[in-house]
Amino acid sequence: SIGKIHVLYQLSKAGKLCVPAMNVNDSVTKQKFDNLYCCRESILDGLKRTTDIMFGGKQVVVCGYGEVGKGCCTALKALGAIVCITEIDPICALQACMDGFRVVKLSEVIRQMDVVITCTGNKNVVTREQLDRMKNGCIVCNMGHSNTEIDVASLRSPELTWERVRSQVDHIIWPDGKRVVLLAEGRLLNLSCSTVPTFVLSITATTQALALIELFNAPEGRYKQDVYLLPKKMDEYVASLHLPNFDAHLTELTDEQAKYMGLNKNGPFKPNYYR
Amino acid sequence: SIGKIHVLYQLSKAGKLCVPAMNVNDSVTKQKFDNLYCCRESILDGLKRTTDIMFGGKQVVVCGYGEVGKGCCTALKALGAIVCITEIDPICALQACMDGFRVVKLSEVIRQMDVVITCTGNKNVVTREQLDRMKNGCIVCNMGHSNTEIDVASLRSPELTWERVRSQVDHIIWPDGKRVVLLAEGRLLNLSCSTVPTFVLSITATTQALALIELFNAPEGRYKQDVYLLPKKMDEYVASLHLPNFDAHLTELTDEQAKYMGLNKNGPFKPNYYR
Amino acid sequence: SIGKIHVLYQLSKAGKLCVPAMNVNDSVTKQKFDNLYCCRESILDGLKRTTDIMFGGKQVVVCGYGEVGKGCCTALKALGAIVCITEIDPICALQACMDGFRVVKLSEVIRQMDVVITCTGNKNVVTREQLDRMKNGCIVCNMGHSNTEIDVASLRSPELTWERVRSQVDHIIWPDGKRVVLLAEGRLLNLSCSTVPTFVLSITATTQALALIELFNAPEGRYKQDVYLLPKKMDEYVASLHLPNFDAHLTELTDEQAKYMGLNKNGPFKPNYYR
Amino acid sequence: SIGKIHVLYQLSKAGKLCVPAMNVNDSVTKQKFDNLYCCRESILDGLKRTTDIMFGGKQVVVCGYGEVGKGCCTALKALGAIVCITEIDPICALQACMDGFRVVKLSEVIRQMDVVITCTGNKNVVTREQLDRMKNGCIVCNMGHSNTEIDVASLRSPELTWERVRSQVDHIIWPDGKRVVLLAEGRLLNLSCSTVPTFVLSITATTQALALIELFNAPEGRYKQDVYLLPKKMDEYVASLHLPNFDAHLTELTDEQAKYMGLNKNGPFKPNYYR
């Protein structure tokens, strides 16, 4: 997960990483499937299974427009929700604009929202102050990482009543009767309240296995005590292993085309930074 | 353009690059705007202005599912076209599957297509043999680069008649009366038959200007005779300069959050390879 | 439901209807919510809860492009499935084309499909012959009406083995090991394996209650022993009662505008046949 | 057009219609093509050809969510615009909510909008007061009917300067320098600044021709001096004539299915009020 990657890079920066490490989380295939494509489906699934909410016409704020946020926003918008986003990164914010989402600060919209979804990888993105300002019936959940994004601890306080209405669903009740619907106690909705399709597991497992094989087989010195991205060619290999499921037919470069592009006919086809 | 970047990397690889170069083409902001967001609009505009085609129900094949292809496919699908794609790269092919496009070889579908669009950056993607098999009225155009993608030279042959029906639109007429509609003689549709929004020009110009300033101001030795990506922070700066156009409100990290993420509050917010 | 409406119209035609009847099923509001908007969500929910399928890249055929079919197709397409449809009605078929779906006969595509969904209101739309030709793992379900659309009876035959893998999910196993995944034994997926949002129930209940009140209060002779559509004005009233949920602000006609349009400022705003 | 239909119904109501009239405008096929499908494309085309605007991230208000409004909203949303709508009819307003658009009063949002589009069929939907409050550069255009929707007359006043910047595009300049971009002087954008695809013309011409043939051939007494909808069967016939363009394959009812549904195998397949 992204959290553990942070730790690896911090260890590396501090010179404390004692073995080579492969950041498989940021391989294109894994990233897109684990985050974008998987969350596009699991946000809907997780919300439905816990709340039976109808998406059409709902006002939703998604905190964070990275791959997970993009997946959530695409799905919710497609089903008729009115979605706005919060971002700290101007590049992601501009992408949100281009994709048709208003970019707001959470405090500007919190009173009107029917659903609040966090996917930032950060902590205390939803604070007690904001929870206090939500409207009755507002649903709050976390698609990001760990259980840090919503300040759940602040809700464990004497003036608020917790009522477990079903598995993974708590009503937090304010003294005036207002209820906020908290899912999975702020832990990951996609892990707690949805399922991960076997197809995504296959992508992840294949990527991890290939990374381990690469590290094990690599000649002395190819990898130092640092964090590496999966070699592009392996990333492409993971993808190609999964194409037959979709009856997808790849085109092969002719010799002339490969030469023109300066590419090997078997890949890799893109520079390492390509996403 | 992507073509010139290829040349720069080849020069660098051959040790023949005599100055530092900045690959602004692959900065996130420029890439997304020039390719994804701009082409999403200009494919529609270019086709409409030249052919007045109705998109609904049309069968379209898009060759290449990079940023340009993704933009074209998104727009055409949204307007009711039935789109399939061709790809050489298994990662892009898998993305196409996930986005709901059949991945095919051009020869498998060429007979049924109403529109053929190239965006590969490669040469001879559409061959004379395939042009021979297109159906009457098929529209062929190039959104990729240069004028190499469609083998137009092969159409300048005595058995075929060219008829200019309006500016940028030629009918190529086969002996049996079949007509193929060739746009811009195979040159770039988005440059020849559409317009580039001022907003995109602003992004591009800002990125280029900042890259030049960075190269000029950089202390001795920061850049060698090699090809560099624009520093992430500058990329973010370009984006932030354009946010006010959309009345977009960025969220600022708190000190606690910045520390938790190991980030500077002013960015850069993402690793260099992030797209 | 549409099935019972058929019966009412048949009774009326045969002169056997002994009381006035209100066809609330075809009021705009009820129709759109019960069928289009509700099924757009429940097709995803029903499939996820029973099979945990990933939608991205799946080949799906939807039989019938009425309101239910339109809802199913919109949602599945939005989540990256590749959808084609079957239709008997040329108007609905042309709508499907315009919305970007290939219109096919079931037998032409049955071998390649990952999911088969019926929403025709008809019987034996999926026959034993077609079930025999499905590929291993194909999911079959019914979103239409009753349990007639899939010829489930034909599967209760000695050469096939039924294996209940979880509630509402049966594997039908062919002698060669091929498995077809049958949901809810061919009964309605949206009722058996999904939930109906309270918002939709509210629309339905309000429509039915208003229809009964209208029939009860109507002056002698307004309604004969026939089937009537809900008066447009009541249909609009149902809608207006539900707008505050979305914080939607209606515009009021000025006197001048009402006069120009020949409308009463309080509605009805559209002719009866408007949908 | 819808304007002329109003007149016909008013004449009929007043007993002043002296011949039978066929309301072809409200036949399903014509309505959907002329309004929904055609405008979905022509709104983009008309705006691009006149203003070269980039759609991504633009704030747009669409006045009226009938078929034309639905078409405009679908297209603009798909290309990344942030769209809200105004409505007088609660049913259409609720549909807008379900489709993910905020329903607002024009005066609530007018200051923030980049583009204002009218498609109501009404008059003075955009008033001088609202024009006064628009921001600099706001684009105003009419997709509805006639030239009544925007109060253009109010702009022909001495304190405002008109500047024709290109064909069909005027800048109206306020004393403080603010410019509003008025397209086609408030006349129909789709007729003035876009083209009608031949496919749509074919649908329209076929529908009109069949209506005339029906009126001409009808036995004495079938049609009185009133306004009629095109018989469903003819509407279906128009559609079926256009299906081969899309290589669409209709399914035929079996005898058993036709009997079960109480339908003739050759149609009509839906009740008259079906849309």
Q: What is the pLDDT of residues C102-129, one digit of tens each?
A: 999 999 999 999 999 999 999 999 999 9
Nearest CA in chain B to A95: B32
Residue D3: per-residue pLDDT? 62
| B117 lies in the same domain as B46 | yes
Residue D47: per-residue pLDDT? 97
Percentage of chain C beyond pLDDT 70 is 99
What is the mean pLDDT of the segment spanning C175-203? 94
Residue A10: per-residue pLDDT? 85
Above 70 in pLDDT, residue A34?
Answer: yes
Residues of B in contact with D53 (CB under 8 A): 197
Structure tokens at C38: 């509700």
Measured in angstroms, the CA of C60 and the nearest CA of chain B are apart by 11
Q: What are the pLDDT digits (tens) for B183-218?
A: 999 999 988 999 888 999 999 999 999 999 999 999
| D3 lies in the same domain as D82 | no
Reported as a pLDDT band with limits 50, 70 and 90, residue C207 is very high
Reported as a pLDDT band with limits 50, 70 and 90, residue B33 is confident
Nearest CA in chain A to D99: A80
- Yes or no: say if D130 and D118 are a contact pair by the CB < 8 Å rule: no
Inter-CA distances, D199 with B104, B122, D140, Å: 28, 34, 28
Of B53, B56, B199, the CB nearest to D54: B199
Residue B156: other Cβ atoms inside 10 A: 10
Does residue A271 belong to any structural domain of this protein? no
Above 60 in pLDDT, residue B1?
Answer: no
Above 90 in pLDDT, residue B8?
Answer: no
Question: What is the spatial distance between Cα D30 and Cα C30, in angstroms, rounded to a whole number?
Answer: 25
Above 60 in pLDDT, residue B161?
Answer: yes
Provide the CATH number for the domain around residue D149: 3.40.50.720
Q: Do B94 and A248 touch (CB under 8 A)?
A: yes
| A18 lies in the same domain as A31 | no
Question: What is the spatial distance between Cα A207 and Cα A212, in angstroms, rounded to a whole number?
Answer: 9
Q: What are the pLDDT digits (tens) for C132-184?
A: 999 999 999 999 988 899 999 999 999 999 999 999 999 999 999 999 999 99
Instruction: Provide the β-strand partners of residue A29.
Output: none
Residues of C in contact with A199 (CB under 8 A): 54
A: neighbours with 3+ CB pairs under 8 Å?
A: B, C, D
Does residue A1 belong to any structural domain of this protein? yes
Q: Do A124 and B246 touch (CB under 8 A)?
A: no
What is the mean pLDDT of the segment spanning A190-205? 90
Residue B56: per-residue pLDDT? 97
Residues of D in contact with B247 (CB under 8 A): 59, 112
Residue D110: per-residue pLDDT? 98
| B88 lies in the same domain as B140 | yes
Above 60 in pLDDT, residue C37?
Answer: yes
Residues of D in contact with B139 (CB under 8 A): none
Residues of C in contact with A194 (CB under 8 A): 48
Among residues D171, D191, D211, the one where a domain terminates is D191
Residue C79: per-residue pLDDT? 97
Residue D174: per-residue pLDDT? 98
Residue D4: other Cβ atoms inside 10 A: 12
Does residue B273 belong to any structural domain of this protein? no
Residue D62: per-residue pLDDT? 98
Among residues B191, B225, B240, the one where a domain terminates is B191
| A208 lies in the same domain as A158 | no
Angle at D157 between CA D155 and CA D161, to 5 degrees: 80
| C186 lies in the same domain as C106 | yes
Interface A–B counts its CB contacts (< 8 A) at 162
Reported as a pLDDT band with limits 50, 70 and 90, residue A28 is confident
Among residues C131, C156, C191, the one where a domain terminates is C191
Q: Which residue has the tokens 């010799």?
A: A255
Q: Do C79 and A78 touch (CB under 8 A)?
A: yes
Does residue D272 belong to any structural domain of this protein? no
| C165 lies in the same domain as C215 | no
C: neighbours with 3+ CB pairs under 8 Å?
A: A, B, D
Residues of C in contact with B56 (CB under 8 A): 97-100
Domain housing A248: 1-22+197-259
Above 60 in pLDDT, residue C1?
Answer: no
Of D94, D124, D236, the CB nearest to C89: D236
Nearest CA in chain B to C84: B82
What is the mean pLDDT of the segment spanning C38-60? 96
Residue A3: per-residue pLDDT? 62
- pLDDT in single tens digits along all 275 residues of chain D: 556 777 888 889 899 998 999 988 888 888 888 889 999 999 999 999 999 999 999 999 999 999 999 999 999 999 999 999 999 999 999 999 999 999 999 999 999 999 999 999 999 999 999 999 999 999 999 999 888 999 999 999 999 999 999 999 999 999 999 999 999 999 999 888 998 888 999 999 999 999 999 999 999 889 999 999 888 999 999 999 999 999 999 999 999 999 999 899 999 998 777 76
Question: What is the spatial distance between Cα C39 and Cα C37, in angstroms, rounded to a whole number?
Answer: 6
Of A41, A57, A74, the CB nearest to C55: A41
Residue C101: per-residue pLDDT? 98
Of B80, B99, B102, the CB nearest to C100: B80
Interface B–D counts its CB contacts (< 8 A) at 71
| C181 lies in the same domain as C215 | no
Residue D2: per-residue pLDDT? 59
Measured in angstroms, the CA of B34 and the nearest CA of chain C are apart by 25
B: neighbours with 3+ CB pairs under 8 Å?
A: A, C, D
Q: Which residue has the tokens 């006010």?
A: B244
- Counting every residue written for chain C, the total comes to 275
Nearest CA in chain C to B55: C98
Residue D100: other Cβ atoms inside 10 A: 22
Does residue C270 belong to any structural domain of this protein? no
Of D248, D273, D274, the CB nearest to C93: D248
Reported as a pLDDT band with limits 50, 70 and 90, residue C72 is very high
Question: What is the spatial distance between Cα D95 and Cα C264, in angstroms, rounded to a whole number?
Answer: 21
| More confident of the two residues C32 and B167 | B167
Measured in angstroms, the CA of B270 and the nearest CA of chain A are apart by 8
- Yes or no: say if C267 and C236 are a contact pair by the CB < 8 Å rule: yes
Q: What are the pLDDT digits (tens) for B48-101?
A: 999 999 999 999 999 999 999 999 999 999 999 999 999 999 999 999 999 999
Nearest CA in chain B to D79: B75
Beta strand A102-103 with A82-86 is parallel
Structure tokens at D124: 């003075």
Cβ-based neighbours of D33, under 8 Å, separated by 6 or more: C98, D199, D200, D203, D204
Taking an 8 Å Cβ-Cβ cutoff, which residues of chain D contact chain B? Answer: 37-38, 40-41, 44-45, 48-49, 52-57, 59, 74-75, 78-80, 112, 194-195, 197-200, 245-247
Of B77, B98, B102, the CB nearest to C100: B77
Residue B274: per-residue pLDDT? 75
Q: Do C52 and A197 touch (CB under 8 A)?
A: yes
Cβ-based neighbours of D19, under 8 Å, separated by 6 or more: D225
Single-letter residue type at D193:
C
| Mean of the per-residue pLDDT values of chain B | 94
Q: Do A260 and B10 touch (CB under 8 A)?
A: no
Question: What is the spatial distance between Cα D30 and Cα D38, in angstroms, rounded to a whole number?
Answer: 10
Structure tokens at D63: 């006045």
* Interface probe with C: pick from A32, A52, A111, most Cβ of C within 10 Å: A52
- Yes or no: say if B76 and B55 are a contact pair by the CB < 8 Å rule: yes
Does residue D50 belong to any structural domain of this protein? yes
Q: Do B56 and C80 touch (CB under 8 A)?
A: no
Residues of C in contact with A54 (CB under 8 A): 37-38, 41, 197, 199-200
Does residue D270 belong to any structural domain of this protein? no
Q: Do D75 and B75 touch (CB under 8 A)?
A: no
| D77 lies in the same domain as D105 | yes
Write down the ipTM of this complex.
0.93
CA Rg value for chain B: 21
Q: Do D80 and A98 touch (CB under 8 A)?
A: yes
| B150 lies in the same domain as B209 | no
Of B80, B82, B97, the CB nearest to C57: B97
Does residue D241 belong to any structural domain of this protein? yes
| A78 lies in the same domain as A183 | yes
Measured in angstroms, the CA of D177 and the nearest CA of chain C are apart by 31
Of A29, A273, A275, the CB nearest to B94: A29
Q: What are the pLDDT digits (tens) for B209-246?
A: 999 999 999 998 899 999 998 889 999 999 999 999 99
Q: Do C270 and D91 touch (CB under 8 A)?
A: yes
Measured in angstroms, the CA of D43 and the nearest CA of chain C are apart by 16
DSSP string computed for D54-82: --TT-EEEEE--SHHHHHHHHHHHHTT-E
Measured in angstroms, the CA of D64 and the nearest CA of chain A are apart by 17
Question: What is the spatial distance between Cα D253 and Cα B252, in angstroms, rounded to a whole number?
Answer: 62
Of D29, D91, D252, the CB nearest to C91: D29
Residue C3: per-residue pLDDT? 62
| B204 lies in the same domain as B120 | no
Of D56, D82, D98, the CB nearest to A56: D98
Number of structural domains chain D divides into: 2
Question: What is the spatial distance between Cα C152 and Cα C139, in angstroms, rounded to a whole number?
Answer: 13
Question: What is the spatial distance between Cα B100 and Cα C82, in angstroms, rounded to a whole number?
Answer: 5
Measured in angstroms, the CA of A16 and the nearest CA of chain C are apart by 40
Q: Do D45 and B40 touch (CB under 8 A)?
A: no
| Mean of the per-residue pLDDT values of chain A | 94
Among D86, D82, D75, which residue's Cα sits nearest to residue D37? D75
Question: What is the spatial distance between Cα D77 and Cα D96, in angstroms, rounded to a whole number?
Answer: 12
Reported as a pLDDT band with limits 50, 70 and 90, residue A50 is very high
